[in-house]
């Protein structure tokens, strides 16, 4: 019969087989719980008296079952510490061999320059804890129940002020929805747009593959929009190829992964296209980090009724917080709120309250300013290390996209190393990198540029120099074994 340990040290479902004897049935149930990992190594079992009472067995039956499992090596018993699962027990999951997800990986990853994450080693723990204590002490009791699908009013109010002040966004709290990351925001938008008749959405090419997959899985088709050094080719949106496109996802401040900024002329073209009855979804994923000039304001500020603004704490604080936001045109607030309610009701509350306190106390501004200086130094060090020097012929590539953001693009020239060659050599040095090829939507073309996307924010301060050393070796002709690079 099924029984539950409800008042003991562990909470575990045991199925005692009715056809087996009581002692044998208990032995089997405990043995299976240990092998399945439901009783982990080191877990303390209840006393024989307590377990006997809970399961309706005699104490002698439980003692005999414990003794048998101790003899088999599944349990250990020590005076004063009770009976525990042996630390050497192998569970079924532990016996399953690990299979690498990357068949091209030659050596273990020792360094990473993968784009997409900040230096989480510098998470502002002290400021976050201070803000969390203050936020929790002043939070109303209803904050710990089910809430508004749009998110806590404290955070939406703080973001309305912050985004207007720092990014030129025109927002009111009632037009902001808090989401569990930008990826969820795209899923909610795609769902709402499909319901309203938008069946095709343009997305930059290249761009983040998982974001494209998210939009597709929600229903709309994805039309690739080319990108060049002036940003997305928004001029193409008015051509016949895009006549059935109702919305476009754009990264105007710092295109990912090319790194270009949408030119002023194209910004105006995009705003005009939006006002003509279309929707722009502005992904401002790292707009806080611009190094060589003043930040470019959000496009939402010049067409607020036709642009959805997406922002996130993943690049400023850390993706583990799962906090992002969107500022919506009035006509989309209702449909997207309904989609959010159906998706997960609302995002978690404690992080929202804490971030709201950090913003209103300006601790968030202070953290971003210090992060901006640190990442600029890293950007500068990257550019310096990739300059050719005597005895180290670094040629065959160009560094771009470094005016802003947390990543740069190394464009590989046709006469130099190929993308696969650089990635293969990086793997030999234990360096994790991403190539440009994996981010294209359109099929591979012979004249398509190749490149390496370098995230200079991810490593810790102490690990960054070694990661750059591995990058330089991966790009240097000196390690080609004498092969003529100009083939």
Give the DSSP per-residue string, 388-420.
-BTTB---SEEEE--SBSSEEEEEEPTTS--HH
Q: How far is CA 370 from CA 122, 363, 366, in A?
A: 10, 11, 6
Per-residue confidence (pLDDT) for residue 4, from 0 to 100:
43
Using the predicted structure, report yes or no on whether residue 338 has a pLDDT greater than 90: yes
Q: Is the pLDDT of residue 13 over 60?
A: yes
Helix (H, G, I), strand (E, B) or coil at 92: coil
pLDDT-derived band of residue 270, with 50, 70 and 90 as boundaries?
very high
Band (90; pLDDT cuts 50, 70, 90): low
Give me the residues paired with residue 200 across strands: 221
Residue partners of 226: CB distance under 8 A and separation at least 6:
205, 232, 233, 236
More confident residue, 414 or 266: 266
Please report the pLDDT score of residue 69 as a whole number.
87
For the chain, what percent of residues have pLDDT higher than 70? Answer: 89
Mean pLDDT of 189-214: 97
| Region of poorest pLDDT, from 336-340, 473-477, 483-487 | 483-487
For the chain, give the mean pLDDT.
Answer: 89
- The predicted pLDDT at position 12 comes to 53
Say whether pLDDT at 312 is over 60: yes
pLDDT band at 321 (very low <50, low <70, confident <90, very high): very high
Q: What are phi and psi of 389, to 5 degrees?
A: -135, 160
Which residue spans of the chain are classified as CATH 3.90.1150.10?
A: 111-116+367-479
Arithmetic mean of pLDDT, 185-207: 97
pLDDT at 483: 44
Question: Quick one: pLDDT at residue 88?
Answer: 66
> How far apart are the two ends of the chain, measured CA to CA in Å?
74
Percent over 90 (pLDDT), the chain: 70
* pLDDT of the residue at 385: 94
Q: What is the pLDDT of residue 477?
A: 61
Strand 279-283 and strand 307-312: pairing? parallel
How far is Cα 305 from Cα 333, in angstroms, rounded to an integer? 11
Residues 346/325, Cβ–Cβ less than 8 Å: no
User: Where does the pLDDT of residue 419 fall: very low under 50, low under 70, confident under 90, or very high at 90 and above?
Assistant: very high
Say what the pLDDT of residue 329 is.
Answer: 98
List every span in the chain annotated with CATH 1.10.10.10: 2-85
CATH number of the 111-116+367-479 domain: 3.90.1150.10
pLDDT of 122-132, one tens digit each? 999 999 999 99
pLDDT score of 136 more than 60: yes
- pTM, two decimal places: 0.81
Among residues 117, 133, 114, 137, the alpha carbon closest in space to that of 125 is found at 133
User: What is the per-residue pLDDT for 94?
Assistant: 45
CA nearest neighbour of 432 among 399, 459, 450, 451 = 459
Q: Is the pLDDT of residue 460 over 90?
A: yes
pLDDT at 182: 97
Query: Can you tell me the distance from the alpha carbon of 259 to that of 271, in angstroms, rounded to the nearest whole number?
Result: 21
pLDDT band for position 38 (cuts 50, 70, 90) = confident
Q: 390 or 201, which is more confident? A: 201
- Residue 177 · residue 328 · CB < 8 Å: yes
Topology of the domain covering 2-85: Arc Repressor Mutant, subunit A (1.10.10)
Q: What is the mean pLDDT of residues 158-187?
A: 97
Question: Radius of gyration over alpha carbons of the chain, in Å?
Answer: 28
Res 393: pLDDT: 60
| Mean pLDDT in residue range 348-352 | 97
The dihedral built from the CA positions of residue 119, 404, 228 and 282, taken in this order, carries a sign that is: positive
Domain 125-361 has CATH 3.40.50.150: no
């Amino acid at each position: 019969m099924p029984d539950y340990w409800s008042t003991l040290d562990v909470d575990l479902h045991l199925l005692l087989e009715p056809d087996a004897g009581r002692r044998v049935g208990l032995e089997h149930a405990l043995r299976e719980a240990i092998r399945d990992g439901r009783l982990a190594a080191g877990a303390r079992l209840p006393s024989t008296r307590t377990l006997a009472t809970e399961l309706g067995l005699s104490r002698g039956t439980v003692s005999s079952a414990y003794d048998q499992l101790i003899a088999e090596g599944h349990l250990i018993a020590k005076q004063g510490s009770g009976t525990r699962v042996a630390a050497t027990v192998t569970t079924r999951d532990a016996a399953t061999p690990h299979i690498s997800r990357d068949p091209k990986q030659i050596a273990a990853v020792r360094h990473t320059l993968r784009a997409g994450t900040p230096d989480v080693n510098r998470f502002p723990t002290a400021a976050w804890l201070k803000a969390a204590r203050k936020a929790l002490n002043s939070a109303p009791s209803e904050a710990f129940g089910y809430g508004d699908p749009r998110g806590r009013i404290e955070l939406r109010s703080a973001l309305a002020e912050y985004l207007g002040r720092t990014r030129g966004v025109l927002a009111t709290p009632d037009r902001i929805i808090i989401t569990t990351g930008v990826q969820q925001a795209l899923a909610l938008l795609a769902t709402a747009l499909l319901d309203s008749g938008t069946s095709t959405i343009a997305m930059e090419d290249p761009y983040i593959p998982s974001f494209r997959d998210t939009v597709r899985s929600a229903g709309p088709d994805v039309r690739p929009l080319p990108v060049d050094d002036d940003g997305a080719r928004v001029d193409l949106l008015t051509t016949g190829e895009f006549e059935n496109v109702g919305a476009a996802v754009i990264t105007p401040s710092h295109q990912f992964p090319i790194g270009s900024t949408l030119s002023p002329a194209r910004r105006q073209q995009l705003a005009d296209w939006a006002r003509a009855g279309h929707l722009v979804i502005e992904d401002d994923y790292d707009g806080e980090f611009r190094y060589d000039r003043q930040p470019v304001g959000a496009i939402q500020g010049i067409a607020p009724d036709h642009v959805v603004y997406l922002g996130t704490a993943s690049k400023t604080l850390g993706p583990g917080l799962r906090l992002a936001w969107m500022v919506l045109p009035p006509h989309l607030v209702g449909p997207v709120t309904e989609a959010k309610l159906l998706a997960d009701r609302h995002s978690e509350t404690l992080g929202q309250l804490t971030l709201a306190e950090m913003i209103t106390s300006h601790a968030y501004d202070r953290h971003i300013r210090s992060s901006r200086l640190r990442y600029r130094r890293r950007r500068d060090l990257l550019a310096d290390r990739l300059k050719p020097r005597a005895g180290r012929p670094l040629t065959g590539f160009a560094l771009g996209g470094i005016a802003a953001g947390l990543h740069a693009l190394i464009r590989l020239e046709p006469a130099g190393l190929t993308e696969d060659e650089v990635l293969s050599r990086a793997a030999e040095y234990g360096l994790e990198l991403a190539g440009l090829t994996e981010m294209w939507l359109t099929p591979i073309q012979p004249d398509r540029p190749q490149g390496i996307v370098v995230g200079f924010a991810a490593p810790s301060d102490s690990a960054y120099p070694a990661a750059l050393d591995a990058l330089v070796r991966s790009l240097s002709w000196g390690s080609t074994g004498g092969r003529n690079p100009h083939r």
